[in-house]
Structure 1
Amino acid sequence: MNIKQASKQSGVAAPNIRFYEKEGLLNPARLPGNDYRDYTEQDVRTLRFIRMLRMLDVPLPVIRSVLAGDAPLGNVLREQQTALEQRAKQLEGAARFCAELARQDPSAASLDVDACLSRMENPAQPQTFFSGWVQDYRTLAQVQHQKHFFFIPQGSINTPQEFTAALQAYAEERGMQLGLTKEGMYPEFSLDGIPYKAYRNPGKYRDEICCDAVHPEQLNTGLPSRRERQLRGLRVLLPAACTFAAILTAGWMATGGTDWLWLAALAAAGVLLGRCFENRL
């Protein structure tokens, strides 16, 4: 078969086939008389084999060694697995750094390029299992806070001007940039470039201001989906576990026994139900 037919059957483009021949990975027969290449079924299988290994990012010199019988395929695949796992860790770190920068939403002019390069060229020491989970948990909590947060202003909120003043005070206390786009009792504004809508939640003694991100789907953690699901579950369970441990410890110290076990369990269940209800809203 000619190169066009070999390309169609193998899924390898004709220029790549010629390149692989030049690199010594393939040596098709030549037709007598015109010296045209004559590819066989075995050549097509070799091309598919090369294509498979290239999809696994195996370097061409290694593929050449495998085809020549100098390198066992099993050893090559194990070594490539290790290399890919190391690269995946590097890419995961790069993805997290990209997500961190994206949340800050810097401009090309304001970005501290030297600080970014310093962090990228001199990464911190490898993290322990526990510290990695703690950092990821903080990242998740930060993003969740960006999607929805509330605060209690200094005084009551009865006018749009008082609402605006409360938002300005909140931003100033935290060194954040406030941009008001719509004043009122349901104002629209931005904090450090993230757009929000706010409303007042009147309380018996003090008002509460609740703020919701306009586009929460654009705020992401940059974490692997499995890790994020695990951390979301942990974020629901952790307050209940802490409540249970605190009440049980207090009961043990007060009575020297487990008399408060049921109280601790009921309190923890109440906190757990509250967090589940909060996540449903």
Structure 2
Amino acid sequence: MKIKEVETRTGLVRKNIRYYESEELLTPGREEGNRYRNYSEEDISRLLKIKLLRQLGIPIRDIREYFEGSLGLREIMARRRSQIDQELEQLRKMGQLCLRLEDEPELDPGNVEQCLKEISEEEKKGSLFQNIRRDWTNYNKELHETFIYIEAEGELLNPHDFARETAIYAQKHHMAYETVRLDQTYAIVKLEGIQYLASYTCIRFRFAKIPMVKLTRCKPPKERVSLGKFIFLSILPMLLIMGGIAFNILGNTYFPGHPHLYQFVPMACFVGSFFLVSSSRNIRYHD
């Protein structure tokens, strides 16, 4: 079955399913003659198990060990229940600290230092307050929900390089890849049948600049025409320009009484050809 049916039956989104595949929790078969995945009933059953375990907070590594047979269900649940007890104790201590601060009108420096000292002592005993180190991770996650950023393994000089890095990314994550078009400053590619615009970007992290390929999800061209019409639309601007020039030369030679008309028509032909080129840039023809 296709990925859309899998999403419907499991309630999981495509990105989650691809992530579990990249973590080797799931290995669907491939259809002969193409690279698209073909999911079985066994894959559906495994995805539902993964969904249940993840919603209970079971880590990916424990789920992998469970499927490999090196970790039993009883042990997984006992471990998770112990973690929940620890989390409840941590929440209780955090609640006590919040209760103390309710009676304070403002956060004065002395009180702040005392609270941070208590938190540090509790963390040394094993308690874990809010992990602020995850702030960057959460921001990065939000960023990737809108775009995909690929750290380049080679130079990024032209659209061929953007397409190459995207293909490497697709291979690493076991995704179907296709190059749609290479333009002067960007490439149009497909990952798992979804079209993206691949372009160059540079992300600053602390004091470093990291060159990356930015994939922006985009819609496929709305207009698709036959090969004959595509060729006609390609040469039409040139014909229009040549017609304007010919009209100017012939008009001034044989009918010299309308000089302004012979200037206006070629200019109109040039402007019209410019708009034709601009409007037909994204037109593709049927293979």
Range class of TM-score, shorter chain: 0.3 to 0.5
Tell me the TM-score normalized by structure 1. 0.41
